[in-house]
Amino acid sequence: MHFTDQLVTLRARRRMSLATIGSIVGMAVPNLSAVLRGRGDTKGSTLDSIASALGAEWVLVPKEHREEVRRIVDGAAPGPAFTAPAPRTIEIFSEKK
């Protein structure tokens, strides 16, 4: 997912208006809207300010660690996508003996 798409998704999750973000970062709404649509060549500092206004930061992740980081961000534990079943009641009682 492109970085600006991630900002748009996060803005929707945070339910923040363009006017609110624009006020925080000091940008006019039309300019902010253009940035979030990927129009033009936006400065890194501008993207950083927008991310900060959304309570986020951008981080470079080496390609060899991308999948592990993605699982963590998505809420899955690192390692294989497998969850051990919860112990059954009988197993819990037998473990206490």
Q: Domain coordinates of the chain in residue numbers?
A: 3-61
CB-based burial label for 16 (10 Å; 0-12, 13-18, 19+): middle
Q: Which two tokens stand for residue 7?
A: 């900002």
Separation of alpha carbons 14 and 20, rounded Å: 11
Residue range 3-61 in CATH 3.50.30.60: no
State the residue for tokens 């999750």: 13
Q: How confident is the model at residue 73 (pLDDT cuts 50, 70, 90)?
A: confident
Q: Is the per-residue pLDDT at 95 higher than 50? A: no
pLDDT mean across residues, the chain: 82
Q: pTM higher than 0.85, yes or no?
A: no
Work out the angle between the directed axes of helices 29-36 and 44-53 (0-180°, nearest 10): 100
